[in-house]
Chains A and B, each alone.
Chain A
Amino acid sequence: MSERLLARAAIYGALTLFAAFYLVPLAVVMLNSVRSTEDINHSSVIGLPSVYVWGNFAHTWSSYCIAEHCTGIQPYFWNSLRMVIPATVISTLLGALNGYSLALWRFRGDTLVFGIITLGVFLPEQMKLVPWAIVLRDLGLFNTISGLVLIHVIQGISFTTLFCRNYYVSIPADLLKAARIDGAGFFRIFWRIVLPLSPPILIVTVIWQFTGIWNEFLYGVTFSTGENQPVTAALIALSAQISQAPQYGQQSAAVLMAAAPTLLVYLFGGRYFVRGLTSGAVK
């Protein structure tokens, strides 16, 4: 019994140590978000606030001037949501479908197709910038949020397919065989068997897509203008430029607010990780 206790203590000890390591940067940013620019400039970016300044949040959210519009990051935040929600949902659904057909409805050449799609995750953003400009021009989607959604869906399918396919291959073949004998078709099996098994991988996929698209900067800045720009563009506008004194306090507040939606996805998605859900649904 004491051995078991020791093991539990070791587990919690290790988890706590790791948690501390992961939390350090967050602590630094949180502390800075309530410090004034003068405070930081007169001491250091790492330190306790001499006076707590809560105004950083309200100011960056709704009244900081970016590009002649003193609206804070708020409108850009909504732009990002308008871009990230459809792009995440569509790419996750298509990825689940792709993964399902590649993993469970094998066809001739499926490995090659999967290989090519997987290669897509390796293409560096920089390399695709000019071709995407040509594609958007030809589709007439330049400077639109739809254009950005299109880019993120197509690039995202590579990732979502990879995750889902590799998850679905571990679904026992017997389950599907039984269903097929019962006369279930392609969609019925997807809907009744595969989807109920999917929450853990779907939450991983959604997290991946949501955060990746949310934090993407290069395309957002290049392929959208003015009031259509995503929040990352606004964040960069807040950050240091050659001829600017950095506004660490406001930057930190903005970073925290911009990360809020992703954190919410984790918190609400977390319960889908719980063990037992899968076995309960199948049997």
Chain B
Amino acid sequence: MMAWRQRWDRILPHLVIWPPLLVSCAYVLVFSVWTTWVSFTRSTLLPDYSWAGVRNYTAMLASRNWQIAFTNLFIYGACFVVLAMAVGLLLAVLIDQRIRGENLFRTIFLYPIAVSFVVTGTVWGWLFNPSIGVQKLVHDLGWTSFRFDWVIDRNMAIYTIVVAAVWHGSGFAMALFLAGLRSVDADLVKAAQIDGAGAWRIYTRVVLPTIGPIFVAVLVMLLQFAIKTYDLVVALTAGGPGLASTLPALVVYDFMFQRGELGRGAAAAVMLLGSLTVVLIPYAGFRAWQNRRGAARV
């Protein structure tokens, strides 16, 4: 009886742990492999499993849409991730100073994430529009030489998307950081205070290093935002002026569904994910190395 009980106790955790882990892995692997496979086929309106070689890839690489979108992704991705992280961390630290009205401020910073991308894009589109938005408002106040027309400037349109995306995502970064800051052992901070460390020192030396994994969570979260950005652009600039602010997710959707070129769209998606691994593989190596060190220590 006892033995059965013990064995059951040992097995049960595995029964609980494995199904969700396996399902999540299978989902990622099966869907990625399927898409990769389709990218090598002649699929048009529906999946069609006849082999097409690398034709879809060469066609996508040669298309202007893809070239512009891919360049934009780097500009937009870098600006958005850096800015949203900086703003998010700053807000989290400010809120963490035992301030009055924490609830109010936190809710104000967080609410944008509740607003869908379509609405975000539409409203920022109004504000950026020189004929009805901020520029007009300032003109009406009397400063008529004021110019704020990024949204119609081919070189600046992509930055309007950055602003709207930072507005949307930085609050969530703040929430994650705040959760992290509050997981820090209060004793550690107290000990540092007793040692006479200033606020800046406590943050840079004690607090931030312990929430390193939260940085990773925020980074991954923002990166996936950047890569998947779709509705925001559609509502804000519609990819324009011309094609100037298009992004890869728009190209994927455009080819897969609007043009009925499932194979080419899949090729674009695979290249998008492929470019991501360029960022992720060095990081994974770093983590593995760190883990080994960590394991040795424990």
Contacts and interface: CB of A to CB of B under 8 A. Distances in A.
A–B direct contact (CB < 8 Å):
yes
Interface of A: 11-12, 14-15, 18-19, 21-26, 28-29, 44-46, 94, 97-98, 101-102, 105, 111, 113, 115-131, 154-155, 157-159, 161-163, 165-167, 169-173, 185-187, 197, 200-201, 203-204, 207-208, 211, 214-215, 217, 232, 235-236, 239, 255, 259, 262-263, 266-267, 270-271, 273-276, 278-279
Contacts of B23: 154, 157
Interface residues of B, number: 101
Nearest to A24: B127
Contact of A122 (B47, B96, B99, B276): B276
B25 A18 contact: no
Contact of B224 (A11, A122, A255): A122
Given A45-B126, A121-B224, A200-B183, A232 B116 contact: yes
B40 interface: no
A18 B29 CA distance: 41
A22 B123 contact: no
Interface string B8-29: 0100110011001101110111
Contacts of B220: 118, 121, 162
B192 interface: no
26 contacts: A14-B94, A15-B105, A22-B108, A22-B109, A25-B112, A101-B13, A117-B21, A118-B220, A122-B223, A122-B276, A124-B269, A126-B252, A154-B27, A167-B179, A187-B12, A200-B179, A201-B179, A201-B183, A204-B172, A207-B110, A207-B175, A214-B114, A262-B113, A271-B103, A275-B182, A279-B185
**Chain A binding surface, main DSSP class:** helix
B42 interface: no
B111 interface: yes
B103 A126 contact: no
A239 B272 contact: no
Contacts of B288: 111
A21 B213 contact: no
Interface stretch (B145-153, B226-234, B238-246): B226-234
B24 A11 contact: no
Contact of A125 (B180, B228, B284): B228
B183 A170 contact: yes
Nearest to B133: A46
B112 to A, nearest CB: 6
A259 B114 contact: yes
A1 to B, nearest CB: 16
A117 B24 contact: yes
A173 B99 CA distance: 31
A259 B115 contact: yes
Given A23-B108, A97-B16, A166-B214, A270 B115 contact: no
Contacts of B273: 122-123
A12 B9 contact: no
Interface stretch (B31-39, B56-64, B78-86): B31-39
Given A127-B266, A203-B179, A255-B115, 19 more contacts: A18-B91, A22-B171, A25-B124, A98-B21, A102-B21, A111-B284, A120-B28, A163-B217, A165-B213, A170-B180, A185-B9, A186-B13, A236-B118, A259-B111, A262-B113, A263-B114, A267-B107, A274-B182, A279-B186
Nearest to A94: B20
The 10 closest A-B pairs by CB, nearest first: A262-B114, A200-B179, A215-B116, A166-B213, A186-B13, A120-B28, A127-B269, A166-B217, A25-B123, A94-B20
Contacts of A163: 176, 217
B117 interface: yes
Interface in B60-84: none
Interface of B: 9, 12-13, 16-17, 20-21, 23-25, 27-32, 34-35, 38, 47, 87, 90-91, 94-97, 99, 102-103, 105-120, 122-124, 126-127, 132-133, 136-137, 167, 171-172, 175-176, 178-180, 182-187, 210-211, 213-214, 216-217, 220-221, 223-224, 227-228, 230-231, 249, 252-253, 256-257, 262, 265-266, 269, 272-273, 276, 280, 284, 287-288, 291, 298
A154 B73 CA distance: 27
**Chain B binding surface, main DSSP class:** helix
Contacts of A123: 28, 31-32, 273
Nearest to A16: B105
Contacts of B172: 204, 207-208
A158 B262 contact: no
Contact of A157 (B24, B186, B223): B24
A120 B27 contact: yes
Contacts of B120: 25
Given A101-B17, A124-B249, A266 B227 contact: no
Contacts of A113: 21, 25
Contacts of B38: 130
